[in-house]
Each structure stands twice: as C-alpha cells, then as structure tokens.
Chain A
Amino acid sequence: MSVPALSVRNAEKRFGAIHALRDVSMDAWRGEVTALLGDNGAGKSTLVKCISGVHRLDEGEILLDGRPAHLNSPAAARGAGIETVYQDLALFDNLTPAQNFYCGREIGFPAWLPRPLRFLDKRAMNREAAAVIDRLQVRLPKFDAPVAMMSGGQRQAIAVARATVFARNVVMLDEPTAALGLRESRKVLDLIVKLKAEGNAVILITHNMEHVVELADRAVVLRQGTKVGELKPSAQNRQDLVAMIVGAEA
C-alpha cells in the first residue's frame, strides 16, 4: 500500500482561452474513497475526463501503481483498469443490462478474427452480468429488457455495477446521486462502500457534504482549475471544506 493506485502529477489542461486545470496533483489509494470537490467549473469533470481518456492532458502525467500510463483514449483507460461512471451514465437505453455491461468489451470468439467480426458469447456475458447484479444486490424489474424503461436509481445502479465488473484499479463516479431521491441515493452509496471494500481506489465527485463526511477517507478540493487543499473530512472540519470550495477565507 505504499504506492497510490493512481497519481496525477502537475496536470495542465487548456480549452482555448480557458485554463481548466493548473498544476493539479492528486493521489488515490486502494481501499479508500477520495472525494473530488469544487464548485461548478472548478475542473472536476475535466480532471475525470483526462483520467478516463476522453481528454488528453496538455502537460503533466498520470501514474498507475507508480508507473506512467498513456491514457490517450477511453479504450486505453478501460484497458488499464480505470472505470468511470459518467454523470450522464453513458448507458445505452436500447440495450439490456448485460449488453450494457459488456458494450465495447464484448466477449467474442474466435480470437483470430478481427474484433468486430467475432461472434458474441451471449451466454457467458449474461451469466457474468447476472452474477455481478446478484453480488451487489441490485434489484431490477427485468434482466432481459432494455434499460430504457428503468427508473433513475436502477439505471444508476446498472452504471455503477458495470464499472465494478472491469475495475481493477480505479473507479471514478461523477455525481452519482445528483438525479436521485433519498432512497435511491442510499442504495448507490451502499454500492460505493462495496466498491471500496473490494479494494478499488474510488474517486467520488459530489456536491453533497453529508456523503463526503460519511464516505470519503480524503477530500481534494479544486477551485478555478487549481488544487486549493486536501484533508480528511469529518463532521468537525465540514465548514472548512465548504469555505475552501467557495473560496471564502475561514
């Protein structure tokens, strides 16, 4: 446990005139939840998208288990064991939960054919997906129906469960409870606890301070693209965290 599962070193990212990330460094450790906090436009989502391979860093580097990683596409990041639950979930409404789980990483055969021309091993994918859903105790109305007709909480649970299937190093969740009611939020928080217990480094973006205090082992605060602080959240320093996020001097 001496090396963090993920380290970001001196990250810089610009979008034209906007300086989205300025010299940001952070670590995430296995078996821990690292909260990534900040106001809207602070650079949280940009940082997540750089780690998940959607954007590329202009400068700086990303280390996985201490070794430099080249995450220049979402496929590369997923290949490196980094899973992301995006704010928009990135679920396919027209596919079933199992199809969603394996989308882009279908189990196919024979191996000597180019990937798009391989035959789908539907039985294996259904079996694996059902096992994960069972293990995480996600309750779904129907396993073989497209996710279009499922509720917000069920869809969120599917997106989180998908991340757990392949995560070997890091799971990032971008505001996983933003669109959910109280009860459905609770279920997703339980899932996050399970992810952590299974030894993943979890990075959680949220605006909900209660969730941060309850779940996070460490909190990293961004403001206007710069890292302004890092501390262990607790009920006592909650106010300090909020002050850091909005930029008010304590």
Chain B
Amino acid sequence: MREEARQTALRGTAAESGLLAVTLGLRLLGFGPVLILALLIVAASVGVPNFLKPINLGNILAQTAVIAIVAMGQQMVILTRGIDLSVGSNLALATVVGGLVYQAGGGGLAVIFAMLAAGMAVGAINGLVYVYGRLPHPFIITLAMLSICRGLALELAPGHTTMRGMPEAVKFLGGQTTLGVPNAFFVVVVVALLILMLTYAMVWGRWTYAVGGDPVAAREMGIPVRGVLISTYVFSGLCAGIGAVVLSGRTGASSPIYGNLLELDTIAAVIIGGASFLGGRGHLGHALIGAVMIGVIRNALNLLNVDIYFQMIAIGGVIVLAVEADVLRNRLEARARVLQAAKT
C-alpha cells in the first residue's frame, strides 16, 4: 500500500516536471517569430550595407504598409479557419474604381470612399456565397473572385492599363511623410488599433475566436456563425480597400495589375508571424511581425543584389518552417493535456 502511494507520488512529480518542459517549449514557440525577426534585423544591420540608413528604414515601412494592412484582414479570416485568396485582385479592382471616380471628377473623400466600398463589396460577395452557397471551403469562392476581380479591373481600366493621377488626400495618406515617418505607417497603426479594439474589447471579436476555435460548438452556444463568417470577409475586403488607398497614394496612380500575388504575401505574413492555420489562434501581432519579416527579407536581399526569384524561394522555405512550428505546437499541447491528467 505504501509502495503504491510512493509510486503515485513519483508519477506525479514526473508529470509535473514533464509539464514544465512542455510549457517552456510552448512559450519558446510563441516567442519564435519575434526572435527570428530580431535576429534577421541584427544580421541585416551587420551584413547589409545601407540597411540601417533612415531612408532605407522609411522605405521598408512604406513598402511593408500595404502587406501589413491587407495581412491584418487576412488574419481575421484565417482566425475563423478561412482564407481569402481574392485580396490582391480586390485591391487592384479597388484602385481602378477609385481611379475612375477621380477621372469622373471625384474629390479625395469620394475616391477613398469608392475604394473602401469596392473592397467591402467584394468581401461581402465572398462571404455570402461561401455561407449561403454552402461551399465546403472559402478557398473556392475566393479563388473565383481572384479571377473575377482581376478580369473586371482589366475590363474597367481604360486601355486595360495604368491610370495616372490621384487626389491630394490619397497621395498624402500613401505617399507623404510626417516628421520623416511615412503616413502609410500611421494608417497601419490606425487599422491595428481598430482591430485591437474589435478583437479584445468587443463581443464580435470574441465570436470570431469562438467560431475559429470550434464552429460546431459556436452554433451550439447560440453564436450567429454565418453572420460572423460573412463579416470577417467583409472586413478582409475593407482592408484590401485601405491597402488600395495606400498603394494608389504611393504611386499616384491606379492599375489593374496592382496587388499581383498579394494574397500569397499576406497569407505568408500571417503564417510566418505565428498564427495557426487550424483556427482560433492568432492575433494582429502575428500579421504585423510576419509582414515586417517579409519586408526585411526582401529589402535585405534587394540591397545585396540577390535576384528576385531567390527571394520567392526563401519566403516559401520560411512558410514551410512556420507551418511545421504550428504542428509541433499542437502536439505539445496534446502532450500537456495528458500530463495534466496524470498530475491530478
């Protein structure tokens, strides 16, 4: 009898130390992306000439802004186990719509409003068709919209090509600086604060996490799952529209070929940043870290004159690593559950 008690106690301590190790491992995985980003920045500062020059850092911020904004919308969709492949084409279409409004004599506000509305309309179609068309996965409708929006943007653009000219307000937001900091950076901050409020302080955000964590349970708990899903695609569309404003402002133009492969960049940013593809795990910090990581990798390789094709290979490799880290994290959590049961 005493021997048995001793055995139980022993097993308890073993479980306790095992649990500690697993928890430590999970912590490390959580900090992984931040550590890697820090290492990247240190390596680039040391190894890449001109990397730390203020003008280059400003460039990184300006170039990263569009990816960051659209990635934050993508993050909300991925949080609900979805994906939005249409964001790049959506952004192009939004710039073209904005350009047409400008050519028709629209002012700054009208152009901005048109871009945001176009983005949200595309997002609404994504969400409505996904939910009410009873599609098995949003992959299909957003892939279709990727094609439709690009085609529509090319059809709508006069001469199927770039239109010069943007109102001052748009140029101010996307192309100018305040106290040496690109205004696009402040747009990123505003979008981030908005998402922060929605996800941490408001009921809607809690519901997106619940739907992502377990859609069946969410329905059983009385959450309007369909409405939540549709709203995340509208939100992603809105972010594409904001991205359109920033990109048009930076280039002073609108173009049906903007945003090519932006869907891949934004999905990569979210995953590299450490969010989970399995739903319910992730926050805007992941999208932002991932976007900056991609920006830094691109910028450093550019300064080193590494050709663009190698950049694509490098970013692809990082994505595979990030997804493996996600898988490892889930296995560690399962292990923690077992140890927790053994301990008590």
A interface with B by C-beta (< 8 Å): 52, 54, 73-75, 78-79, 84, 86, 88-95, 99, 103-106, 108, 115-120, 139, 141, 148-154, 181, 184
A92 close to B280 (CB less than 8 A): yes
A94 to B227, CA, bound (A): 21
List 30 A–B pairs whose Cβ atoms lie within 8 Å, in order of A's numbering.
A52-B220, A54-B220, A74-B221, A75-B222, A78-B221, A78-B222, A89-B217, A90-B216, A90-B220, A90-B221, A91-B217, A92-B214, A94-B213, A104-B207, A105-B221, A106-B203, A108-B203, A116-B203, A116-B204, A118-B202, A119-B203, A120-B202, A120-B203, A141-B340, A148-B336, A148-B337, A149-B333, A151-B338, A151-B344, A181-B341
| A106 proximity list for chain B (CB < 8 A) | 203, 206
* B 210-238 binary contact with A (CB < 8 Å = 1; else 0): 10111011111111000110010000000
Is B194's beta carbon under 8 Å from chain A? no
Q: B201 — which chain A residues lie within 8 A by C-beta?
A: 119-120
Residues of B161-216 whose CB lies within 8 A of A = 201-204, 206-207, 209-210, 212-214, 216
Choice from A93, A104, A150, A154 contacting B218 with Cβ under 8 Å: A104
User: Which residue in B206, B219, B337 is a CB contact (below 8 Å) of A99?
Assistant: B206
4 closest residue pairs by CB, A with B: A75-B222, A151-B341, A104-B221, A90-B217
| Nearest B residue to A89, CB-CB | B217
A117 interface neighbour in B204, B217, B333, B344, Cβ under 8 Å: B204
With A73-B222, A74-B221, A78-B222 as known contacts, state yes or no: A93 contacts B213, CB within 8 Å: yes
- Chain A residues with CB under 8 Å of B341's CB are 151-153, 181, 184
Q: Which of A88, A89, A92, A153 contacts B210 (CB 8 A)?
A: A92
Q: How many residues of B contact A (CB 8 A)?
A: 31
User: How far apart are the CA atoms of A153 and B342 in the complex, in Å?
Assistant: 11
- Given A119-B201, A149-B340, A152-B341, does the pair A84, B220 have CB atoms closer than 8 Å? yes
Contacts of A139 in B (CB 8 A): 344
- With A88-B217, A103-B223 known, 8 other A-B pairs at CB within 8 A are A84-B220, A90-B214, A92-B209, A93-B214, A94-B281, A117-B202, A118-B203, A149-B333
In angstroms, Cα B227 to Cα A110, docked, is: 21
- Are A92's CB and B213's CB within 8 A? yes
Query: Which residues of the other chain, A, contact B219 by a CB distance below 8 angstroms?
Result: 54, 74
Nearest CB in chain B: distance from A131 CB, A:
20
Contacting pair A103 B333 (CB below 8 A): no
Residues of B near A120 (CB, < 8 A) are 201-203, 206
Q: Given the complex, which residues of A lie within 8 Å of B344, measured CB to CB?
A: 139, 141, 151, 153-154
- Contact partners of A152 in chain B: CB under 8 A: 337, 341
How long is the Cα–Cα vector from A74 to B218 in the complex, in angstroms?
Answer: 10
Q: Which residues of A contact B204 (CB under 8 A)?
A: 116-117
Greatest chain A CB density within 10 A among B207, B216, B221 is at B221
Which B residues are in CB contact (< 8 Å) with A86? 217, 220
A238–B221 alpha-carbon span in the complex (Å): 36
Complex Cα spacing A81 to B216, Å: 20
CA distance A105 to B210 in the complex (A): 12
A54 to B220, CA, bound (A): 7
CB-based nearest A residue for B338: A151
Q: In the complex, what's the smallest C-beta–C-beta distance from A135 to chain B, in angstroms?
A: 20
Q: How many angstroms from the CA of A74 to the CA of B210 in the assembled complex?
A: 15
Q: In this complex, what residue of B is CB-closest to A150? A: B340
Q: Which residues of B contact A89 (CB under 8 A)?
A: 217
The interface residues of chain B lying within 8 Å CB-to-CB of A93 are 213-214, 280
What is the minimal beta-carbon distance from B181 to any residue of chain A, in angstroms? 31
CA distance A115 to B203 in the complex (A): 7
Q: Do A74 and B220 touch (CB < 8 A)?
A: yes
Given contacts A52-B220, A93-B280, contact A151 B203 (CB under 8 A): no
**Chain A residues near B220 (CB-CB < 8 A):** 52, 54, 74, 84, 86, 90
- Output the nearest chain B residue to A115 by Cβ-Cβ distance: B203
Which residues of B32-56 are within 8 A (CB) of A? none
Within 8 A of A (CB), among B297-344: 333, 336-338, 340-341, 344
Bound together, the chains give a CA A95 to CA B222 distance in angstroms of 16
B73 to chain A: closest CB distance in Å?
Answer: 17
> Quick check: A117 and B222 within 8 Å, CB to CB?
no
